[in-house]
């Protein structure tokens, strides 16, 4: 009988186009094989002769990491079988067609994610074998697989939280929420490589590469590593934070349009942190990385967000009798807004009931297990006050639930409580609505309605856990106990008389109403009201006063009066931060009693608005003319205007134009031709920045049709 020739490998087809479509990775390009765990993918192998199942023995070897090991889960060997058995590496369902072998490979739903090499060993008998390389593939988390810890059983949600490569960040102030378009760009060709480069530069990897790789099957672990690596506080992370106002050594956080330019710069410069980021930049870049790796992720904004370092669930702020908000040495602050992420996952490390959305916060605020990272903290645990559950739940709970105590500071100490607000922190928690450009308010997923019995009950439960049973006394609690909170015989309100625009005088109205009060007779009341205006900083602090005013009032019982206030443009010109927020505070002092009360008004100044129009149908590879119009509605010129255009699938990288100076009341019209690269729904982001106004932003949703067959 003739001896059969040895089986030799002649060709390999990784079938990337077919596999990419089935694994929802076609947006990442078709040149290489990118698949998701817990799902079959197909290969075609060509041999020198037909494969003979009874005589030929093929073993597949998949390896990842620096020192692959079966014990650590970074190496798998598996033989060719006709049927697949369970959630293990396997090669099965093969068909033989002449000299080629079609085979399906399966990766377990708890496999380590990352770049793999794939080989086959062909046994030659008598203990000899020959090894052939089949190539490489990248393995990602699989939210489409019911066996994966990131499984999300809704195609609509998957399209939003994995596949959508643009979105919005909500910024500003609880009463003036602005939506910022952001280009996540997770499917740009090199982004997936940069995501794994981020993991490979973490302190965990540098300390023990093999152990780090072996834990990359665990989404909780990967999320914590990414959360630490987006900031650069402990490591060569992606972004360096800057909450000052000097951005001359880098890019202002307000001038980023998306994540792609940041990630590419970090990688191109060998892992040098990119300057600069603040919370919305950190969270948006983390969203890009997590969506790219296959974890459903969204960006969350919390307005009036507490930064409660001492974990006492109260934030103290101080005013003097002239209504100036005073700086404090305490780290506790109330941010105008703070931005973090939510990632969707099963929490096998927690008791049942805490799966689903988890808070992750890459902004470096405090350390967790020695590194600047935060989360994952279960949103359900936060709502129920279960602050003992991992990770960092007390910190996030305080961000949305702390109480605010406002003090009058006199003679070197806090003397009088002006306000105790139980519901002023954690407002308008917001994210982009699924399948829409609208904002969705998700405050109710973080806490019960303010003032409800459930909300106060949860607050007391969390307080006991965070402060312990032997809650120490404080001057605040002593004052509460002594009935320091009596009502006032007067109601004060500050209103805007017209829409506030940057470059215009600001018109306000003080509304004063006398109300019944047991401690005050019905005769007239005299009070002195001192006003102060200060630039409000993103981190909750203020600059020195830019305007002061004082008035004396005599109020008869039952009367209501209105007093106009004018804050001239010259008072705040060159005094504000780039975010254009002003806090106007007033402290009224009653002559009869010497007691005081506080009235506040935060003002957000509107920048000029962009108009973006697209006249014709958008098609891949065909010129698309975009018309951009900006009218300078301010009373001053906008100098050194720079325009940046960005949009994954529309533009490769960025288009940057220097527009020069735009005079007051003048209009500039710009025409740009784009050549769309990918079909489907896309978003064009436009940013115009100037010396006077850093952030004039606009966007246009564009549906791109596939190229017509020629």
Report the C-alpha gap between 446 and 382 in whole angstroms: 6
- From the list 23, 173, 338, 488, the catalytic residue is 338
Report the C-alpha gap between 150 and 217 in whole angstroms: 11
Judge contact between 431 and 340, C-beta under 8 A: no
640 is in an annotated binding site: no
Helix (H, G, I), strand (E, B) or coil at 312: coil
121 is in an annotated binding site: no
**The two structure tokens encoding residue 120:** 């086959």
∠ Cα 654 655 660 (to 5°): 135
Three-state SS annotation for 480-500: HHCCCCCCCCEEEEEEECCCC
Sheet strands (E) in 203-296: 239-241, 274-277
- 688: CB partners within 8 A, 6+ apart: 610, 630, 641, 642, 643, 659, 696, 697
Task: Identify whether 287 is a catalytic site residue.
Answer: no
Report the C-alpha gap between 403 and 406 in whole angstroms: 10
Q: Residue 702, exposed/middle/buried by CB under 10 A (0-12, 13-18, 19+)?
A: buried
Using the structure block, give the residue that is written with the tokens 């949305």: 400
- Name the residue among 620, 597, 639 with its Cα closest to residue 706: 620
Judge contact between 494 and 586, C-beta under 8 A: yes
63 is in an annotated binding site: no
Task: Identify whether 279 is a catalytic site residue.
Answer: yes
- From the list 149, 195, 212, 279, the catalytic residue is 279
- From the list 56, 235, 361, 602, the catalytic residue is 361
Using the structure block, give the residue that is written with the tokens 């407002």: 427
Sheet of 114-125, strands arranged across: 33-36, 128-140, 114-125, 58-63, 75-79
403 is in an annotated binding site: yes
Taking only Cα atoms into account, the Rg of the chain, rounded to an integer number of angstroms, comes to 30
Whether residue 376 has a cis bond before it, omega within 30° of 0: yes
Helix (H, G, I), strand (E, B) or coil at 101: strand
Report the C-alpha gap between 322 and 567 in whole angstroms: 17
Residue 248's alpha-carbon distances to 102, 244, 626, 687, 694, in angstroms, are: 58, 11, 32, 19, 13
Task: Identify whether 517 is a catalytic site residue.
Answer: no
Give backbone dihedrals phi and psi of 19, rounded to 5 degrees, phi first.
-65, -40
In the annotated binding site for Ca(2+), the residues are 401, 403, 450, 455
Active site residues: 279, 338, 361
**Which residues carry a binding-site annotation?**
401, 403, 450, 455
């Amino acid at each position: 009988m003739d001896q059969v020739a040895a089986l030799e490998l002649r060709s390999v087809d990784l079938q990337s186009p077919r596999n990419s479509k089935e694994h929802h990775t076609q947006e990442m390009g078709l040149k290489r094989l990118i698949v998701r765990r817990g799902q079959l993918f197909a290969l075609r192998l060509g041999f020198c002769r037909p494969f003979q199942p009874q005589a030929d023995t093929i073993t597949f070897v998949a390896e990842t990491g620096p020192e692959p090991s079966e014990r650590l889960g970074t190496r798998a060997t598996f033989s060719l079988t006709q049927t697949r058995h369970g959630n293990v590496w396997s090669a099965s369902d093969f068909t033989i067609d002449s000299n080629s072998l079609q085979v399906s490979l399966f990766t377990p739903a708890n496999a380590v994610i990352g770049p793999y090499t794939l080989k086959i060993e062909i046994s030659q008998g008598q203990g000899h074998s020959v090894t052939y390389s089949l190539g490489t593939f990248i393995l990602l988390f699989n939210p489409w697989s019911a066996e994966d810890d990131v499984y999300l059983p809704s195609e609509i949600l998957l399209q939003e939280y994995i596949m959508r490569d643009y979105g919005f960040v909500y910024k500003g102030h609880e009463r003036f929420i602005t939506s910022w378009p952001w280009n996540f760009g997770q499917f740009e060709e090199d982004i997936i490589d940069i995501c794994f480069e981020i993991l490979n530069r973490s302190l965990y990897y540098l300390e023990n590469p093999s152990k780090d790789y072996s834990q990359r099957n665990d989404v909780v672990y990967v999320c914590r590593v990414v959360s630490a690596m987006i900031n650069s506080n402990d490591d060569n992370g992606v972004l360096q934070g800057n909450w000052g106002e000097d951005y001359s050594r880098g890019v202002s956080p307000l001038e980023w349009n998306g994540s792609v330019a940041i990630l590419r710069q970090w990688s191109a410069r060998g892992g040098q942190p990119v300057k600069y980021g603040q919370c919305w930049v950190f969270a948006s870049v983390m969203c890009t990385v997590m969506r790219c790796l296959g974890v459903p992720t969204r960006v969350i904004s919390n307005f009036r967000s507490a930064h409660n370092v001492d974990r006492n669930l109260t934030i103290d702020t101080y005013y003097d009798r002239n209504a100036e908000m005073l700086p404090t040495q305490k780290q506790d602050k109330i941010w105008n807004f703070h931005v973090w992420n939510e990632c969707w996952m099963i929490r096998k490390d927690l008791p049942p009931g805490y799966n689903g959305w988890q808070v992750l916060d890459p902004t470096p605020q405090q350390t967790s297990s020695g590194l600047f990272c935060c989360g994952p903290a279960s949103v359900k645990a936060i709502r129920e006050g279960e602050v003992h559950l991992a990770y960092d739940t007390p910190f996030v709970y305080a961000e949305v639930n702390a109480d605010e105590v406002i003090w009058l500071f006199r003679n070197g100490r806090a003397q009088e409580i002006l306000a105790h607000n139980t519901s002023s922190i954690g407002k308008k928690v917001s994210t982009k609505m699924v399948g829409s450009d609208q904002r969705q308010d998700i405050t109710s997923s973080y806490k019960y309605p303010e003032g409800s019995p459930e909300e106060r009950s949860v607050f007391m439960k969390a307080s006991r856990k965070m402060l312990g049973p032997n809650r120490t006394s404080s001057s605040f609690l002593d004052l509460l106990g002594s009935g320091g909170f009596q009502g006032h015989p007067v109601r004060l309100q500050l209103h805007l008389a017209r829409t506030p625009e940057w470059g215009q005088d600001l018109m306000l109205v003080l509304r004063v109403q006398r109300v019944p009060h047991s401690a005050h007779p019905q005769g007239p009341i005299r009070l002195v009201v001192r006003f102060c205006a200060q630039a409000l900083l993103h981190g909750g602090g203020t600059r020195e006063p830019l305007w002061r005013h004082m008035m004396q009032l005599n109020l008869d019982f039952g009367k209501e009066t209105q007093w106009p206030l004018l804050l001239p443009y010259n008072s705040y010109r060159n005094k504000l931060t780039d975010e254009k927020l002003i806090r106007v505070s007033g402290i009224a002092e009653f002559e009869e009693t010497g007691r005081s009360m506080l009235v506040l008004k935060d003002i957000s100044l509107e920048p000029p608005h962009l108009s973006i129009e697209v006249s014709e149908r958008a098609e891949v590879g065909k010129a698309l003319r975009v018309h951009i119009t900006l009218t300078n509605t301010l009373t001053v010129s906008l100098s050194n205007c720079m325009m940046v255009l960005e949009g994954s699938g529309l533009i490769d990288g960025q288009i940057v134009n220097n527009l020069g100076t735009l005079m007051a009341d003048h209009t500039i019209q710009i025409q740009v031709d784009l050549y769309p690269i990918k079909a489907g729904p896309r978003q064009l982001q436009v940013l115009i920045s100037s010396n006077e106004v850093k952030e004039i932003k606009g966007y246009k949703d564009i549906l791109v049709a596939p190229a017509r067959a020629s």
